Amino acid sequence: MALVEPLVDEPAAIADLCGERALVVSDFHAGIEAALRHENGVEVASRAEKRREHVHRLLAEAGADRLVILGDFMHSIGGPGGAERGEIEVLLESLSVPVTIVKGNHDGDIESIVENARSTRTPGSVPEVTVTPGDGCRLGDVGFVHGHSWPASEVLGARVVCVGHEHPQVRLTDEVGGSRTERVWLRGALARAPFGDHVGTWTDTDLIVFPAFNELMGGTWINVEGEFLCPFLPEGLSDGEAYLLDGTRLGAYRDV
């Protein structure tokens, strides 16, 4: 098995962390329904329970020993509202595996939510929950960073670097002009050019850009002219390829 292997038909992957098997998801964006109602006037029923059940199902099916959330566990950038805070607390309280939360640009007050989730459970029954700095962390031979800031040098020294933040998508158009948007994975060799002297020892490193776990999120259309959000993309993935969630290879993402 590769160090990081996407699950077929899922916006999630399994990572081999030197013997520990981790389920990795990115851009959970808990409580987004409340934000859509408040900011856009769009009424969407809460999918919090569905997201929680989805995580539990994937953990069970994959036999995972750990959950890694690759940033933007929260949705609101400021203080989290009741629905958002409640969704995260209930999910954390329901888990029986350790959790690593890689801090994203939406996760400003995530530590207080983690502490509150701990306080509501019987001492000793709460699995380990770790919140990393914004420049990420390395677990075994896999580096994790959300992607809104530059990665730590230890992250760049890993054999595989996992990044979120972009929510990569592709817009597919049929012969009669109809179109749809699909979430995609981006994968290829991590190029050194955008990092300069930011990292010393350089290894042959793969970069994987994760799709958003939350299907209500928009994202970066890789085949429509525009700008990436991550400071080291697209230069850091000059020869990357795109894959649909079902594993279909679309080829070089720049040419899709």
Please list the pLDDT of the chain residue by residue as tens digits (256 residues): 689 999 999 999 999 998 899 999 999 999 888 766 655 566 777 888 999 999 999 999 999 999 999 999 987 655 556 677 888 888 998 999 999 999 999 888 888 888 776 666 655 556 789 999 999 999 999 999 999 999 998 999 899 999 999 999 998 777 776 778 899 999 999 998 888 766 656 678 899 999 999 998 888 888 776 678 999 999 999 789 999 999 999 999 888 7
Counting Cβ atoms within 10 Å, is residue 141 exposed (0-12), middle (13-18) or buried (19+)?
middle
pLDDT at site 123: 55
pLDDT tens, residue by residue, 71-115: 999 876 555 566 778 888 889 989 999 999 999 998 888 888 887
pLDDT at site 60: 97
b/e map of 59-72 (b: 16 or more CB within 10 Å)?
Answer: beebebebbbbbbb
pLDDT at site 159: 94
List of residues 6+ apart from 27 with CB closer than 8 A: 70, 71, 72, 104, 164, 165, 167, 210, 212, 213, 214, 217
**Residue 116 DSSP class:** H
Can you tell me the distance from the alpha carbon of 224 to that of 208, in angstroms, rounded to the nearest whole number? Answer: 20
| DSSP class per residue in 122-163 | -TT-SPPEEEE-TT-EEETTEEEE-SSSPPPHHHHTSSEEEE
pLDDT at site 195: 83
pLDDT at site 53: 97
Q: How far is CA 87 from CA 70, 149, 189, in A?
A: 17, 26, 36
Element (H, E) at 23: strand 20-25
Can you tell me the distance from the alpha carbon of 59 to that of 64, in angstroms, rounded to the nearest whole number? Answer: 5
Six token digits for residue 227: 């700008």
Can you tell me the distance from the alpha carbon of 5 to that of 210, in angstroms, rounded to the nearest whole number? Answer: 11
pLDDT at site 209: 97
For strands 137-139 and 142-145, give the pairing. Answer: antiparallel
Global confidence as pTM: 0.91
